[in-house]
A and B are shown apart, each in its own frame.
Chain A
Amino acid sequence: GAGVSQSPSNKVTEKGKDVELRCDPISGHTALYWYRQSLGQGLEFLIYFQGNSAPDKSGLPSDRFSAERTGGSVSTLTIQRTQQEDSAVYLCASSLVGAGGPPLGELFFGEGSRLTVL
C-alpha cells in the first residue's frame, strides 16, 4: 500500500481481555517499529524488527506484551490480560534500510490504534 496501515483504528476492551493490533508496513521496508503514545508521556519505544534479525524487545513493558512479524511484512502486537494502564495509542512505523544495514532513520508512521481498557 501507499502508507503504513494499522487496524483497528479504535479498540475498546474490558480489563483482563486479550487484544491484537495489526500493522501492515510499506512494501519493501524491512525495519518495523512499535511505539506507544500516552497522554503526557511522549512516544515510548516497544519493539523493533529488522529483517531476519532477532527483534529488539527491550521496550516491552511486561511479559503481557508480545509481537511477531510474519514473512518479514505484517506485524501483530498482542497484549494479554489488558490493564487500564495499557490504554494508549499504539503506533507502528516502518523504514528503509541503508546499504550498511541499519535503518536509514526516517520512519513512516501509521495513524495508530487507540486502545481503551475499561
Chain B
Amino acid sequence: AQSVAQPEDQVNVAEGNPLTVKCTYSVSGNPYLFWYVQYPNRGLQFLLKYITGDNLVKGSYGFEAEFNKSQTSFHLKKPSALVSDSALYFCADYRPQENTPLVFGKGTRLSVIA
C-alpha cells in the first residue's frame, strides 16, 4: 500500500518569506496527490491536487505544489508567507485504480512569524 512522508513536524518561516512544506510518496506509479490544510479548531480543507498534466499545480490562498516523479515528491510552496497561513498541513496520496482510501501523511505544522 502507498504511504506518504512529511519529513518535518514543524516549519517556521518569517512573514513575507517563501515557504516550502515537503512531501514524498513511497510507491511508484500514477498517484493522485493532494494537500489539505487544517486551521486551528477547524476541519480539514482541500488546497490543491495533482492528477495529470502540468507538474505545477496552483491552489487556494496562493499555494502551489510541484509534482516531481523522479524524486517522488510533491512539495507545497508559497512565494510570500502570511501569518494567517499558520496551520497544520497534510499531504495525501490516492490510487483510484486500487479503490483504496486517501492515505495521509502525519502533517506538518507551519508557523509564520510576523
> Using a CB–CB distance below 8 Å, which chain A residues touch chain B?
4, 33, 35, 40-43, 45, 48, 50, 56, 59, 91, 93, 98, 100-112
B104-A35 in contact (CB<8A): yes
Q: Which of chain B's residues have a CB closer than 8 A to the CB of A4? A: 43
Q: Report the bound CA distance from A108 to B44 in whole Å.
A: 8
Contact of A91 among B44, B49, B107 (CB under 8 A): B44
Cross-chain contact A41 with B96 (CB below 8 angstroms): no
| B44 adjacent to A45 (CB under 8 Å) | no
Q: How far is the CB of B35 from chain A (nearest CB, A)?
A: 11
B99 within 8 A of A: yes
Instruction: Give Cα distance in the complex from A40 to B34, angstroms.
Output: 20
With A43-B90, A91-B43, A111-B43 as contacts: A106 and B105 at CB distance below 8 Å = no
Interface residues in B22-50 (C-beta closer than 8 Å to A)? 32, 34, 36, 42-46, 49
What is the bound-complex CA distance between A35 and B46, given in angstroms? 15
Chain B residue with the shortest CB-CB distance to A59? B101
B42 partner, pick from A33, A100, A102, A111, beta carbons under 8 A: A111
Contacting pair B101 A45 (CB below 8 A): yes
Measured between beta carbons, the chain A residues less than 8 angstroms from B58 are none
Once bound together, how far apart are the Cα atoms of A93 and B44, in whole Å? 9
For B32, list chain A residues within 8 Å (CB): 105
Give the CA-CA distance A40 to B94 in the complex, in Å: 22
The residue from B45, B46, B51, B107 contacting A43, defined by CB atoms under 8 A apart: B107
What's the Cα separation between A59 and B103 when bound, in Å?
A: 11
A112 touches B96 (CB 8 A): no
Beta-carbon contact of A42 and B102 below 8 Å = no
Distance in Å from the Cβ of A33 to the closest Cβ of chain B?
Answer: 6
A112 touches B43 (CB 8 A): yes
Q: Is B97 an interface residue (CB 8 A)?
A: yes
Q: Nearest A residue to B33 by beta-carbon distance?
A: A105
B106 adjacent to chain A (CB < 8 Å): yes
Contacts of A43 in B (CB 8 A): 44, 90, 104, 107
